[in-house]
Amino acid sequence: MATIFKRGEYYYLNYSDATGRQKEPLGKITKTKAKLLLQDHQYKSRHKSSNPNKQEVNFQTYATDYLNDFLLRCPSTYETSRFALQQNFEPMLNSAKIPLKDLNLSQLTSDIVAAFIEIGFTEGLKGSTINRKLGVLTAFLNKAKADNYNVANFKIKKLPKRKSNPPKYYSLDWLDKIVAAETLYPHWWLFLANTGIRAGEFRNLKCDDIKDDGIHIISSPDNPTKSGEWRLIPMNPTIKEILSYFDRTGEYLIPRFDKDMPKTRFRRLCKQIGVPSGKWGIHCLRRTFASQLVMSGKPLRTVQILMGHDSITTTERYAFLSPDYLKGALEDFGIGIKLNEHR
């Protein structure tokens, strides 16, 4: 049985192997970290002893073991890992076209992976979404290999990054149609289009964070923003009017539904009213905010701050919308060669 103990400021791991009792220094670390290393050692020892030779296992069985292992060793990230598997791996596992769950890990082939990629494109998935799924699959297989299971021996290649396309946003006509078609929460979508806050920030926005000077987007350990930074969305008459439609008697601006509820509701609404494919995501409301700011002549640096972009490069995707974009770029330009000098 393996144990940990502390001597002075250093932790040690005590365990037995085929050569006898061993003492392994873990270093000057916290007790929590030492416990995690102990759990990791116990997990590896258990699999090494039970699997002296590489064994076969199917995808369905190992998916359960994979999550149980995370629950044991990394309880703080268990939900994140479960969600990643649920969103990115389970659709492949339960695919009607390719029943992955019935296959052993060693039976996976590059042709099967290529077929999943083709199915993804057929279903309208973006290349980045497909790559995320492939990344989860790769991590899954690498973990199985470390656990001494027989895994298919080929490298899963991700799709090459495509050149950045102009951001997709709603015209004011489409935004008006979306708001008019919403029966319960039209103020939600107008609020997002007029503030540019992310769906996650919207869900976690507290009523106390809405003050006279504006909307304070606060990053906290429980609800971190994407950039991890605080920012302020200044108050204006339009936002004030929209806020009057919210019930602000509770702690949060909107009810604590399932975290994906605003996204799924908005996507379903867009499909119902015929919004062009590719513009069904709630994030398009955020892009609409940025696009309208740029088209009204606001400096890109101002838009960057309001959007909470880490890099101005992200904001520069909207530069082509600026009324001054390329204006005057060639006014003082000219290669100083005269045609009449060569006649």
pLDDT at site 325: 61
Cα 109 from Cα 152, distance rounded (Å):
7
Lowest mean pLDDT among 27-36, 161-170, 245-254, 310-319: 161-170
pLDDT at site 185: 93
pLDDT at site 142: 84
How far is it between the farthest Cα atoms of the chain?
96
Q: Looking at the predicted structure, is the pLDDT value of residue 319 above 70?
A: yes
Tens digit of pLDDT for each residue in 294-313?
A: 888 888 889 999 999 888 87
Start-to-end C-alpha separation, the chain:
96
pLDDT at site 254: 92
Tens digit of pLDDT for each residue in 111-158?
A: 888 888 888 877 878 888 888 888 888 888 888 887 788 888 888 888
Cα 164 from Cα 182, distance rounded (Å):
32
Enumerate long-range contacts of 260-269, CB under 8 Å, 24 or more apart: 262/188, 262/199, 262/202, 262/203, 263/199, 265/185, 266/189, 269/178, 269/181, 269/182
Cα 94 from Cα 176, distance rounded (Å):
39
Q: Looking at the predicted structure, is the pLDDT value of residue 66 above 60?
A: yes
pLDDT at site 332: 65
Tens digit of pLDDT for each residue in 171-229?
A: 899 999 999 999 999 999 999 999 999 988 998 899 999 999 999 998 776 666 666 77
Q: Tell me the whole-structure pTM to 2 decimals.
A: 0.52
pLDDT at site 187: 94
What angle in degrees, to the nearest 10, is found between the helix axes of 186-195 and 172-181? Answer: 150
Output the CA–CA distances (angstroms, integers) from residue 209 to 114, 179, 202, 249, in the order listed: 47, 25, 11, 13
